[in-house]
Amino acid sequence: MTSPRQPADTQTARQEAARTLALTAARVAEESRGTDVRVLDLRGITEVFDYFVVATGASRRQLHAIADEIEKVVKAELKDRKRGGEGYEEGRWIVLDYGDVMVHLFDADAREYWDIEQLWSGAKSVPLAAGAVR
């Protein structure tokens, strides 16, 4: 979230860190065989989040594996950790809260039902190949 009182260089660094985290989470979701992986840029739409990462998993077990791997990689590569999470036990819609980045992992039915991309249809889609982070 951008604060009007932050110096421009601090805002830029924070926004770049959020983008890197979002693209890293998306990469890990794809590497963990998540499907229909998308990164939505919410800057300019809401001040609460900068990015959503959205992915679908084929089973509860796969959703857990994707969530666990994202946490592991973000901690190891970016030295960041989630601030909160929901839905892990139920395993139909897992949310990982990284502050400026929210990761949404759905099973196919929950993704279709909640249709988060339509709910946030004003968000820009961030190309994954162009911003792959390693």
Query: Could you tell me where the DSSP H helices lie in 4-132?
Result: 8-31, 60-78, 108-114, 116-119
Cβ–Cβ < 8 Å for 115, 53? no
Q: What is the CATH number of domain 8-128?
A: 3.30.460.10
Taking the CA atoms of 53, 104, 81 and 63 in sequence, report the sign of the dihedral they define.
negative
The confidence score (pLDDT) of residue 2 equals 45
The whole model's pTM is what? 0.87
Q: Helix, strand, or coil here: 79?
A: coil
Six token digits for residue 109: 């039915």
Q: Which DSSP category does 92 fall into?
A: S
Render pLDDT for 96-113 as a digit per residue (tens, 0 to 9). 999 999 999 999 999 999
Residue 88 — very low, low, confident or very high, per pLDDT cuts 50/70/90? very high
Distances (CA, A) of 70 to 27, 31, 101, 119, 120: 9, 10, 12, 24, 23
